[in-house]
Amino acid sequence: DIDHLNLRVQKELVEWLNWLKADIGFDGWRFDFAKGYSADVAKIYIDRSEPSFAVAEIWTSLAYGGDGKPNLNRDQHRQELVNWVDKVGGKGPATTFDFTTKGILNVAVEGELWRLRGTDGKAPGMIGWWPAKAVTFVDNHDTGSTQHMWPFPSDRVMQGYAYILTHPGTPCIFYDHFFDWGLKEEIDRLVSVRTRHGIHNESKLQIIEADADLYLAEIDGKVIVKLGPRYDVGNLIPGGFKVAAHGNDYAVW
């Protein structure tokens, strides 16, 4: 165990981080199991090493109801993520992985896409509150891969990417999906759409529909994304939009 309250430990870790920056060329940090030490300690490491980007893993289980599905109110879950960023410094480079969005997406793509519109009409994850500080993802080395601790439905992974790569927040692509699952070309197309239209972590999201079999949203007035098996959505797509990417139960205009 590392005693992060020990001043010598703090000093040596800061020196190591600065060596990684100056000599090796790293410019960002990922704080693993950030619940294992206080945000005040993380703030010391960030303030004294000045990375251009930092992201924390704060993995807390969602609250579930008797039906085994996440409760509709996820405010407490995403509040914990927001609190960490606040304590570390909201004006600095600190962000957190948006585990709230991950948990909701896991269930939503299984025929409950209405979950992707919160009671306030915004996205229900951390991206609905503070998208600039939310790092979205479909799976990572813990949730998917060989550990398989909280995997995304394997046949609907591209719906997850269609969501995070068109929405605000900072999307993170899982190595396994990109290199091992044969999804490189599909993911590349979505990345190209995001880049070409300048979608960014604070882009404006307008949710048009959120039903069991259809989620439709417009981002920055430039991109429209559809998730779900419903195909008769032509009347909801404004004129001038053309399909730029599509796949199993998703499309992007």
Task: Encode pLDDT of 213-239 as tens digits.
Answer: 999 999 999 999 999 999 999 899 989
Catalytic residues: 32, 57
34-59: average pLDDT: 97
Boundaries of every domain in the chain: 58-203
Question: CA 63, CA 161: separation in Å to the nearest integer?
Answer: 24
Q: Work out the percent of the chain whose per-residue pLDDT is above 70.
A: 100
Token reading at 203: 């882009």
CATH architecture of 58-203: Alpha-Beta Barrel (3.20)
Which of the pair, 145 or 105, is modelled with greater confidence? Answer: 105
Predicted pLDDT of residue 1? 79
**pLDDT tops 90 at residue 14:** yes
| Nearby residues of 105 by Cβ (< 8 Å), 6 or more positions away | 116, 138, 152, 160, 163, 164
